Structure 1
Amino acid sequence: MVFELVVVDVLNRFLGYYVVNLDTSQLSLGIWKGDVALKNLEVKENALSQLDVPFKVKVGHIGNLKLRIPWKNLYTQPFEAVLEDIYLLIVPSSRIKYDPLKEEKQLLEAKQQELKRIEETKQKVVDQEQQREEKQDTFTEKLVTQIIKNLQVKISNIHIRYEDDITNREKPLSFGISLQNLSMQTTDQYWVPYLQDETEKLVRKLIRLDNLFAYWNVQSQMFYLNDYDKSLDNLKNGVVNEYIVPKGYDFVFQCYGAS
């Protein structure tokens, strides 16, 4: 099926760009089977390079990534995406120790991405010409629309933190966000979760957030000075839940419970 090829291609390119040493063959196999489960993924140091910002990822971790794709029942079952334990520690680029081999590898990857982008642009031009001669309401387009209608997303345990002890060495700062749970489901007009069929045009999505916090710490502890595992533990311990609010954080926004 064309759509299966599209899903494989998109996920391979997206995850391949952001994740260290991704086994694309295993990922593709899982997608074709309809059940992808990846654990303990490390986010690349240069994952922010496309944003053209002077920051790098000191610690980047995704504990679990799960995709459930009901290829045989795409019109009657939801496409589910689950992400668990997402932790990012971002620092100024100058705080990352220069590694010539890593830098060379990253430059090569960047060149390969640029070449790929150029080829994709050329292909898009060709595809656009072909699409002018085809009907716009194709089977694949209908299928994509149906999947988006019934897409279910669940994300848990997120902590994204930025640290800076360069701008003001006397008062190192850190700021970030912490979120325990985020979920998104399709609902009916009464906000009760259910599956829409292809005839329905209006899509309603119910988004739920549990324990969302934002903080800004001055004269802050610098996690990045620790090794990778210790820094990761500190990020994990910074997630607020219904039972524990971690100490040492000056919160500027707090949302307890569900919203």
Structure 2
Amino acid sequence: MARQLLLNTLTAAFGDLVEGLTEENLKVGVWSGEILLKNLRLNQKAIKKLNLPVNVLHGYIGSFRVSIPWARLTSESVSVEIENVVLIAQPADPMKWNPEDLRRSNLAAKRALLEKATETAQAWNVARRNSLAGGNEGDKGGGGKEKTGYFAKLATRIADNLFVFLKNVHVRFEDSVSDPSGALSVGVIIQDFQIQSTTNTW
């Protein structure tokens, strides 16, 4: 059950963004406490859902590593290390875009991000409510109810303590559309950054 909760959390957080990231290939190393996947592709369909006036030419992840502290899962973070990310994009055909299209695209992108944030918040709130309800029922007796409360609390703990570390991210924008006679290329390299859940005290 604990393994399934962890798999659900990982696929919910990253499954839409990375091709081939499913429960099947994650479960291989989950009990060992170490999952390592290499040479993954970013899901272009997920990026296109943002409706930005760009075309993603190539998206690549060198390694995707998950470390699971099974012996201390209720007190320590599940860490996800994503390394050697390359994203190459170019502007969409300007003949297919106009100011009104861009305005609608920006609104759609903001709406998509808001919906995703809302869905995530709702899912975590449900998990917390189930955790409280399960814990209260478990106090009244019944081993099954106690287990339900424990696993609900564990699911909330995994989601709240998920730690994401990105290293060596290269974003490159190539523009040969605006001026075919003089292509422009701009790149940004991010050495590392971290994403971590916060609490009401930090």
The TM tier, using the shorter chain, reads 0.5 to 0.7
1:18-57 aligned at under 5 Å gives the runs: 18-22=17-21, 24-57=23-56
Task: Name the CA shift for 1:184/1:7 in 2 (closer, same or farther; >3 Å).
Answer: same
Structure 2 Cα separation of the partners of residues 78 and 60 of structure 1: 28
| Structure 1 contact 40–62 (Cα < 8 Å) conserved | yes
Q: Distance in 1 between matches of 2:15 and 2:74?
A: 29
Alignment of 1:80-91 (within 5 A): 80-91=79-90
Kept in 2, the 8 Å contact 1:16–1:24? The answer is no
Q: CA deviation at 1:58?
A: 1.1
Cα distance in 2 for residues equivalent to 1:24 and 1:143: 16
Q: Which of 178, 192, 200 matches 1:181? A: 192
Paired residues of 2:6 and 2:158 also in contact (CA < 8 A): no
Shift of 1:90: 1.1
Cα distance, 1:201–1:142 mapped onto 2, change above 3 Å:
farther
Q: Percent identity?
A: 25
Letter in structure 2 aligned against 1:26: N
What is the Cα deviation at residue 38 of structure 1?
Answer: 0.5
Cα-to-partner distance string for 1:47-105 (whole Å, 9 max, x where unaligned):
312102233321111111111112231134432221110110012355xxxxxxxxxxx
- 8 A contact 2:9–2:158 mirrored in 1: no
Alignment of 1:50-199 (within 5 A): 50-93=49-92, 135=133, 139=150, 140-141=152-153, 144-145=156-157, 148-149=160-161, 151-183=162-194
In 2: Cα distance, 1:47 partner to 1:66 partner: 21
Question: What is the rounded CA distance, in whole Å, between the counterparts of 1:53 and 1:201 in structure 2?
Answer: 34
* Distance change (3 Å), C-alpha of 1:22 and 1:4: closer
Higher mean alpha-carbon deviation, 65-74 vs 138-147, is at 138-147
| Cα distance change, pair 18–143 in 1 and its aligned pair in 2 (3 A) | closer
User: How far apart are 1:146 and its partner, in Å?
Assistant: 7.1
Q: Shift of residue 202 of structure 1?
A: 2.3
Three-state SS of the structure 2 residue aligned to 1:30 is coil
Provide structure 1 residue ranges, at least 5 long, that are not aligned to the other structure. 95-120, 187-199, 204-259
Q: How does 1:4-19 map to 2 (within 5 A)?
A: 4-19=3-18
Question: Structure 1 or 2: larger helix share?
Answer: 2
State the Cα distance separating 1:143 from its structure 2 match: 5.8
Give the whole-Å Cα distance in 2 for the aligned partners of 1:39 and 1:146: 23
TM-score by length of 1: 0.48
- How many residue pairs match? The answer is 158
- Matched residue, 1:244: none
Deviation at 1:159, TM superposition (A): 0.7
Q: 2:81 touches 2:164 (CA, 8 Å); kept in 1?
A: yes
Correspondence list, 1:200-219, <5 A: 202-203=201-202
Alignment of 1:239-258 (within 5 A): none
Q: Deviation at 1:184?
A: 6.2
Distance 1:80 1:53, change over 3 A: same
